[in-house]
C-alpha cells in the first residue's frame, strides 16, 4: 500500500503493509537508522520519535497511524546537533555505548517542550520508559537539568 | 493537537536562540577534541606517512591514530588515543582516529598485538605496547631531526608535534617520512609514573560522543549493503535441541518472503560463537522476515534438558554444597576441624540466578559473501575474531575476509554479540542465498539464546573466636556452566570467595562445576558480580555474629594490606557509615577486588514499612593504581553500579522447562531511571605497580552493600537475588 509520510519536514512515499511499525519504515524503507530497535513491545524506548510533537514508541506504532502527522526523528531534531538537549548531552558526556541515546534525547526533548523547567519527579516520570543498559541515568538527569537551563537562558 | 504543534514550534525557536546565542561551557569543545568518523571501514584510509601500525603523520601535522580496540561505550577510542598521544607528545586537538584493520592484524602475525577488548584489560594490559608505539615513533622523529641537524638525538626535544634543538625547529609532519625509515638501536622505555604524565590523568571528553547525540554513529545493526536481504532466526527454544521439521509452504506466499534456511549445529562444537540448530526466514525487510518466522510451523526435539529449571538447579546446587568438591586453592584440612570443634559457628547459603547481557543493540550481524571477498559487520569485542569465525564457517582464507569495525551497542562480556552464533549464521545464510544478509535476533531470541551468566549457589561457614573474629572459614560453591568447564573467562565458581583478602587463620575452599545445556559467557565483572554478593554479605553475617561493626571488621581483617586499608579507610572517612539509623533506614558496606582493582561501596537505603526499597546513594571508592581519564573512568563506575543493581534488585532470568521464560523487558526487568541511585565515585589510587581496570570493578560491591543496608533497615538478611522477590516489609519494635 502506498503511504505518504512527513518525516523531518520532508515528504516520503513508501509502499508497505499499513500495519508495519513506523520503526521499520524509518530504518529499512527510508534509511533513517538513528532510531533504534530494542524490544519491539514499547518497553525500552530506544525507538522514541516525535509524532506531532508527542514522544511515541515507533516499534508499536503502525505506519498508517502516522500518515498526515509530523514525524521527527533524531536526525531531524536539529541539523547541527544544536538542540539544547543535544548540547547538554555532549557537555555532560551522557552517552556510553550510545545505542539508547536517540530515544533518550527524543524523550527528553519532548518533556522540555512541554515543561521547560521540570521537577525531578517529572524527569523520572517522563524518562522511566527509556532503558539504558550502560547506566547513564545519573547523567541523563543532570543533562536534562542543564538543557533546561540552556532553554531558559 | 494544535496546542502541541504550537508548543513544538516555539520550542524549535527557543532551541535556535539557545544554540546560536550562547557560549556553552563545554568541558572540551567538540572542534578541539580528537575525532573519529561515525562511518565504518574495513581498511584504513589515513593520509600521510605511516610511522608504525598505529601512527600516521601527514605533512600538515595531522596525526591519525589507529584504534586497535572496540568502542563499546567504555571510551576505548579515547583511551587508546590518549595512551599513544602521551608518549608521542602531540596536541590532542590535532589527532584524528580511525579503526585499525583487523585483516592486516591477522595477515601480519597479530601486528596490533591484541584486538580483543574485554576484561577491563585495555588500559591495564595493553598500555605497554600502545604507549610503546607512541614512544618509539617519537624517538624516531627525534632521530630523523638529529640526523638532519647533525646533532645527537638526546639534544632534540619533541613536544606537541614540534621538534626543537637549540634554535633549530621542525614539525613532526616535516620529519615523518625520514622517521619512517629510522631503525632504533633500542626501543625507548615508557613513562608509567602518573606524576610525570602531561596528558594521561586529565579528563578528556570521549571522541565518540558527538556522533551519539545525532543518530550518526553506525552500529552493526545499521549496516546497509546494496542488494541486502534480511533474516529473522529462531534457534531451539531449549538450547541445543534438534530441528525436526518446518513447513515453508505455510509462509511462502507472505509478502517479501524469499526462503527458509535451516541451520545445523556441528556435532561436539558448542563453544564460543558456535551455532545451534535454527531456522532462518529470509525476506526483503526484517519486519516481514520476523512476522513470517512467528507464523512458521517448526518442530523441535528437546531431549532431557526440558527438566531443567531455576528451582531444580538451586536444589541441585544446595545438595552439592553438602558434598566434597574440587579444592580451589591450597587445601587446609584444619579449617573444617576447627569449625567442628567451635562453639560459635556462622553458616549461610546464597543463590544467584542466570542473568543475560541484554545489550540494548539486539544481537545481529551482516555478512556479504562474494567469490573473492567476504565482508562482515558484526558487533564483536574482537574484530579479528570476526574474521576468523567467518573464514572458518565458509572454509575460506581469512585474508579475503574483511571485518568492518562498528560502534557496539553495549558489550558487557561474552565477546559482545559476536560471541554468539550470529556471525556464523549470517555467513552461512549469505553463502546459501547468494546475497548480503543482515541477521537480527528479536529481543526474545536475544535473551533466550545469548550466552548467559551462570546460575550459582554457595555455602559459607565460619567459626568465631573469643575476640569475635573468625578462626576458620570453609566454603563450597556450585555453578551451572556449559558442559561443566571450570571457568568463564578468568573466573571460576568461587574466585572472589577464595580471593577474599581477609586474614583468616585457616581457610579451605571447594567448588562444583555443574553441567548445564545453557551456553555460558563472561558477563561484566564475571564471577565477582555473583560471588561478591555472597562473600561480602557473609562478611557482615560474621562481623555481626562476632559483635563487630562491619566496616571496622573489614579494616581489622585487612591489616598488613596497605591498598585495601587505604580504600576502606577512605570509604569510612567519606561515607559516614553508621549502624544506628532509625528503622527503615540503613547503610551497608562491601569491598570486592576484580580486574586488578579494589572497589569498596557504601549503600544508603530506605525501606518503607510495606517493604518498598529505595536505594538513595552508592558511594564507591576504588584503587586502580592510576586513572588515565578520570571522566570516562567515573562514567564506567556509575554504569557498573547500575549494571549490577539491575541484576541484584530487579533482574533474574528464569529457567523453566529447559528454556528461559522472561525474555523481553516487560518481564526481565532492568533498573530504570527512577530506581537508579546517585553514584559518587572516589579514586584512592595507590600508583606504584598497580594498573587496574575500571570498566567493571565498581559493580560487584554494590549488591552486597545494598543487602547489608537492607539488613540494618529491616532486620532481614537477603541471601538471594533479585531483591524484588523478597518481602522487605517490617514492623516497628518497641525499644
Distance from CA of A147 to the nearest CA of B (A): 10
Distance from CA of B715 to the nearest CA of A (A): 30
Task: For domain B220-303+363-440, give the fold.
Answer: Aldehyde Oxidoreductase; domain 4 (3.30.365)
User: Which residues in B lie closer than 8 A to residue A91 (C-beta atoms)?
Assistant: 24-27
Residue B13: is its pLDDT beyond 60? no
The pLDDT of residue B386 is 92
Residue of chain B whose alpha carbon sits nearest to that of A39: B443
Give the span between the Cα atoms of B157 and B404, in whole angstroms.
38
Look at residue B340 and give its three-state secondary structure.
helix
Residue of chain B whose alpha carbon sits nearest to that of A49: B215
Is the link from the previous residue into B134 a cis peptide, with omega within 30 of 0? no
User: Which residues in B lie closer than 8 A to residue A113 (C-beta atoms)?
Assistant: 7-8, 11
pLDDT digits (tens, 9 = 90+) for A48-95: 999 999 999 999 999 999 999 999 999 999 999 999 999 999 999 999
Give the span between the Cα atoms of B103 and B390, in whole angstroms.
12
Instruction: Lowest mean pLDDT of A10-19, A134-143, B13-22, B92-101, name the range.
Output: B13-22
User: Which residues in A lie closer than 8 A to residue B214 (C-beta atoms)?
Assistant: 34, 74-75, 77-78, 81, 86
Give the span between the Cα atoms of B615 and B395, in whole angstroms.
52
Average pLDDT over residues B480-489: 89
Across the interface, of A96, A105, A150, the residue whose CB is closest to B213 is A105
The pLDDT of residue B5 is 33
Residue B29: is its pLDDT beyond 80? no
Give the span between the Cα atoms of B581 and B712, in whole angstroms.
8
Give the span between the Cα atoms of B661 and A115, in whole angstroms.
39
State the pLDDT confidence band at B732, using cuts at 50, 70 and 90.
confident
Which grid cell is B442? 528479536
Is residue A46 within 8 Å of residue A106, measured between CB atoms? no
User: Which residues in A lie closer than 8 A to residue B636 (C-beta atoms)?
Assistant: 96
Instruction: Lowest mean pLDDT of B27-36, B65-74, B192-201, name the range.
Output: B27-36
Is residue B78 within 8 Å of residue B31, measured between CB atoms? no
pLDDT digits (tens, 9 = 90+) for B537-547: 999 999 999 99
Q: What's the predicted TM-score (pTM) here? A: 0.94
The pLDDT of residue B16 is 28
Query: Environment class of residue B10 by beta-carbon count within 10 Å: exposed (0-12), middle (13-18) or buried (19+)?
Result: exposed
Look at residue A51 and give its three-state secondary structure.
strand
Residue B22: is its pLDDT beyond 50? no
CB–CB contact A39 B210 (8 Å)? no
pLDDT digits (tens, 9 = 90+) for B140-193: 999 999 999 999 999 999 999 999 999 999 999 999 999 999 999 999 999 999
State the pLDDT confidence band at B41, using cuts at 50, 70 and 90.
low
CATH class for the domain made up of B310-355+452-725: alpha beta
The pLDDT of residue B243 is 98
Size of interface A-B (CB pairs under 8 A): 223
User: Which residues in B lie closer than 8 A to residue A24 (C-beta atoms)?
Assistant: 285-287
Residue of chain A whose alpha carbon sits nearest to that of B228: A28
Is residue B70 within 8 Å of residue B131, measured between CB atoms? no
CB–CB contact A139 B635 (8 Å)? yes
Residue B15: is its pLDDT beyond 50? no
CB–CB contact A133 B362 (8 Å)? no
pLDDT digits (tens, 9 = 90+) for B212-238: 999 999 999 999 999 999 999 999 999
The pLDDT of residue B734 is 63
Distance from CA of B140 to the nearest CA of A (A): 36
Is residue B677 within 8 Å of residue B670, measured between CB atoms? no
Domain positions in chain B: 30-191, 220-303+363-440, 310-355+452-725
Average pLDDT over residues B31-42: 60
Is residue A59 within 8 Å of residue A40, measured between CB atoms? yes
Distance from CA of B358 to the nearest CA of A (A): 8
Run of H or E residues at B127: helix B122-149
Instruction: Lowest mean pLDDT of B269-283, B598-612, B663-677, name the range.
Output: B269-283
CATH architecture label of B30-191? 2-Layer Sandwich (3.30)
Residue B37: is its pLDDT beyond 90? no
Mutation test of the interface with chain B: which of A90, A123, A125, choosing the one with the most B Cβ atoms within 10 A?
A90
Distance from CA of B255 to the nearest CA of A (A): 9
State the pLDDT confidence band at B116, using cuts at 50, 70 and 90.
confident
B546 phi, psi to nearest 5 deg? -90, 5
Is residue B383 within 8 Å of residue B363, measured between CB atoms? no
Taking Cα atoms as reference points, which of B118, B119, B115 lies closest to residue B100? B115
Distance from CA of A94 to the nearest CA of B (A): 8
Average pLDDT over residues B679-691: 95
- C-alpha dist (Å) from residue A5 to A16, A86, A126, B298, B561: 12, 25, 27, 37, 66
| Helical segments of B67-121, H only | 76-88, 102-107
Residue B39: is its pLDDT beyond 70? no
Give the span between the Cα atoms of B130 and B118, in whole angstroms.
16
pLDDT digits (tens, 9 = 90+) for B406-455: 999 999 998 888 899 999 999 999 999 999 999 999 999 999 999 999 99
Which grid cell is B280? 532462518
Question: Going from the N-terminus, what domains does chain A have, and what CATH number goes with each?
Answer: 2-77 (3.10.20.30), 84-152 (1.10.150.120)
Which grid cell is B640? 557498573
CB–CB contact B5 A70 (8 Å)? yes
Residues A111-122: b if buried by 16+ CB within 10 A, e if exposed: bbbbebebeeee
Is the interface score ipTM higher than 0.90?
yes
The pLDDT of residue B46 is 83
Residue of chain A whose alpha carbon sits nearest to that of B7: A113
Question: What DSSP character marks residue B491?
Answer: B
Q: What is the CA radius of gyration of chain B?
A: 28
Across the interface, of B30, B213, B219, the residue whose CB is closest to A99 is B219
In terms of phi and psi (left: phi > 0; alpha: psi -120 to 50; beta: otherwise), the region of A135 is: left
Give the span between the Cα atoms of B148 and B671, in whole angstroms.
61
Average pLDDT over residues A112-127: 98
CB–CB contact A95 B213 (8 Å)? yes
B681 phi, psi to nearest 5 deg? -115, 130
Which grid cell is B468? 569475635
pLDDT digits (tens, 9 = 90+) for B523-573: 999 999 999 999 999 999 999 999 999 999 999 999 999 999 999 999 999
The pLDDT of residue B45 is 79
Amino acid at each position: 500500500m502506498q503511504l505518504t509520510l512527513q518525516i523531518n519536514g520532508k515528504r516520503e512515499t513508501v509502499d508497505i503493509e499499513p500495519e508495519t511499525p513506523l520503526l521499520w519504515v524509518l530504518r529499512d524503507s527510508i534509511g533513517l537508522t538513528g532510531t533504534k530497535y530494542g524490544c519491539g513491545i514499547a518497553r525500552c524506548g530506544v525507538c522514541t520519535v516525535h509524532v506531532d510533537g508527542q514522544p511515541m514508541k515507533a516499534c508499536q506504532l503502525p505506519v498508517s497511524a502516522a500518515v498526515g502527522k509530523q514525524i521527527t526523528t533524531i536526525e531531524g531534531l536539529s541539523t547541527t546537533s544544536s538542540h539544547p538537549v543535544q548540547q547538554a548531552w555532549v557537555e555532560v558526556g551522557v552517552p556510553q555505548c550510545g545505542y539508547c541515546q536517540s530515544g533518550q534525547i527524543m524523550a527528553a526533548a519532548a518533556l522540555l517542550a512541554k515543561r521547560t523547567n521540570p521537577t525531578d519527579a517529572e524527569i523520572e516520570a517522563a524518562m522511566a520508559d527509556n532503558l539504558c543498559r550502560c547506566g547513564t541515568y545519573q547523567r541523563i538527569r543532570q543533562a536534562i537539568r542543564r538543557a533546561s537551563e540552556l532553554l531558559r537562558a | 493537537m494544535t496546542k502541541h504543534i504550537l508548543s513544538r514550534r516555539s520550542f524549535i525557536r527557543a532551541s535556535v536562540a539557545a544554540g546560536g546565542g550562547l557560549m556553552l561551557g563545554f568541558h572540551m569543545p567538540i572542534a578541539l577534541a580528537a575525532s573519529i568518523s561515525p562511518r565504518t571501514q574495513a581498511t584504513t584510509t589515513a593520509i600521510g606517512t605511516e610511522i608504525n601500525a598505529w601512527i600516521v603523520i601527514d605533512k600538515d601535522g595531522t596525526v591519525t591514530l589507529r584504534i586497535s580496540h572496540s568502542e563499546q561505550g567504555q571510551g576505548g577510542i579515547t583511551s587508546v588515543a590518549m595512551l599513544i598521544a602521551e608518549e608521542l607528545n602531540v596536541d590532542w586537538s590535532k589527532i584524528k582516529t580511525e579503526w585499525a584493520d583487523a585483516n592486516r592484524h591477522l595477515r601480519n602475525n597479530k601486528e596490533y598485538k591484541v584486538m580483543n577488548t574485554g576484561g577491563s584489560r585495555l588500559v591495564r594490559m595493553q598500555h605497554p605496547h600502545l604507549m610503546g608505539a607512541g614512544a618509539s615513533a617519537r624517538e624516531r622523529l627525534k632521530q630523523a631531526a638529529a640526523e638532519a641537524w647533525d646533532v645527537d638525538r638526546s639534544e632534540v626535544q619533541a613536544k606537541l608535534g614540534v621538534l626543537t634543538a637549540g634554535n633549530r625547529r621542525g614539525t613532526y609532519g616535516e620529519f615523518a617520512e625520514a622517521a619512517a625509515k629510522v631503525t632504533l638501536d633500542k626501543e625507548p622505555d615508557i613513562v608509567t609514573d602518573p606524576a610525570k604524565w602531561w596528558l594521561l590523568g586529565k579528563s578528556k571528553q570521549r571522541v565518540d560522543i558527538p556522533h551519539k547525540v545525532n543518530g550518526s554513529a553506525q552500529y552493526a545493526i545499521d549496516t546497509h549493503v546494496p542488494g541486502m536481504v534480511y533474516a529473522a532466526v529462531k534457534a531451539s527454544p531449549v538450547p541445543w535441541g534438534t530441528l525436526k521439521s518446518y513447513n515453508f509452504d505455510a509462509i511462502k506466499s507472505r509478502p517479501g518472503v524469499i526462503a527458509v534456511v535451516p541451520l545445523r549445529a556441528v556435532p561436539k562444537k558448542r563453544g564460543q560463537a558456535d551455532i545451534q540448530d535454527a531456522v532462518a526466514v529470509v525476506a526483503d525487510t526484517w519486519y516481514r522476515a520476523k512476522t513470517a518466522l512467528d507464523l512458521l510451523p517448526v518442530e523441535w526435539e528437546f531431549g532431557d534438558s526440558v527438566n531443567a529449571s531455576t528451582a531444580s538447579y538451586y536444589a541441585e546446587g544446595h545438595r552439592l554444597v553438602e558434598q566434597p568438591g574440587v579444592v580451589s586453592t591450597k587445601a587446609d584440612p584444619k579449617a573444617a576441624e576447627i569449625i567442628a570443634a567451635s562453639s560459635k559457628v556462622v553458616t549461610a547459603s546464597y543463590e544467584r540466578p542466570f542473568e543475560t547481557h541484554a545489550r540494548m543493540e539486539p544481537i545481529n550481524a551482516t555478512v556479504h559473501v562474494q567469490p573473492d571477498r567476504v565482508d562482515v559487520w558484526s558487533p564483536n569485542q574482537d574484530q579479528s575474531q570476526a574474521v576468523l569465525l567467518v573464514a572458518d564457517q565458509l572454509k575460506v582464507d581469512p585474508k579475503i575476509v574483511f571485518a568492518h569495525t562498528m560502534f557496539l551497542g553495549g558489550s558487557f562480556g561474552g565477546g559482545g554479540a559476536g560471541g554468539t552464533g550470529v556471525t556464523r549464521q549470517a555467513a552461512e545464510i549469505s553463502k546459501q542465498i547468494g546475497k548480503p544478509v543482515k541477521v537480527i535476533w528479536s529481543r526474545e531470541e536475544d535473551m533466550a539464546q545469548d550466552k548467559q551468566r551462570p546460575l550459582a549457589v554457595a555455602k559459607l561457614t565460619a567459626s568465631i573466636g573469643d575476640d569475635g573474629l573468625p578462626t576458620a572459614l570453609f566454603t563450597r560453591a556450585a555453578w551451572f556452566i556449559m558442559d561443566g568447564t571450570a571457568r568463564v573467562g578468568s573466573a571460576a565458581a568461587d574466585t572472589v570467595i577464595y580471593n577474599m583478602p581477609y586474614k583468616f587463620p585457616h581457610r579451605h575452599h571447594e567448588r562444583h562445576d555443574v553441567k548445564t545445556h545453557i551456553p555460558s559467557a563472561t558477563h561484566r565483572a564475571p564471577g565477582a558480580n555473583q560471588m561478591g554478593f555472597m562473600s561480602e554479605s557473609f562478611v557482615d553475617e560474621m562481623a555481626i555474629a562476632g559483635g563487630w561493626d562491619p566496616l571496622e571488621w573489614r579494616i581489622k581483617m585487612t591489616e598488613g594490606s596497605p591498598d585495601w586499608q587505604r580504600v576502606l579507610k577512605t570509604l569510612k572517612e567519606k561515607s559516614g557509615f553508621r549502624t544506628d539509623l532509625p528503622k527503615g533506614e540503613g547503610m551497608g558496606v562491601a569491598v570486592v577486588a576484580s580486574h586488578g582493582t579494589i572497589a569498596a561501596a557504601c549503600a544508603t537505603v530506605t525501606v518503607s514499612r510495606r517493604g518498598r526499597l529505595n536505594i538513595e546513594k552508592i558511594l564507591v571508592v576504588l584503587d586502580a593504581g592510576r586513572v588515565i581519564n578520570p571522566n570516562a573512568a567515573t562514567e564506567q563506575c556509575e554504569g557498573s553500579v547500575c549494571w549490577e543493581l539491575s541484576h541484584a534488585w530487579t533482574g533474574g532470568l528464569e529457567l523453566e522447562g529447559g528454556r528461559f521464560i522472561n525474555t523481553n523487558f516487560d518481564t526481565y526487568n532492568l533498573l530504570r531511571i527512577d530506581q537508579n541511585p546517585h553514584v559518587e565515585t572516589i579514586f584512592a589510587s595507590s600508583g606504584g605497580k598497580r594498573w587496574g581496570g575500571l570498566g567493571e570493578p565498581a559493580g560487584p560491591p554494590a549488591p552486597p552493600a545494598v543487602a547489608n543496608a537492607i539488613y540494618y533497615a529491616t532486620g532481614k538478611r537477603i541471601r538471594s537475588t533479585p531483591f524484588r522477590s523478597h518481602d522487605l516489609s517490617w514492623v516497628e519494635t518497641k525499644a
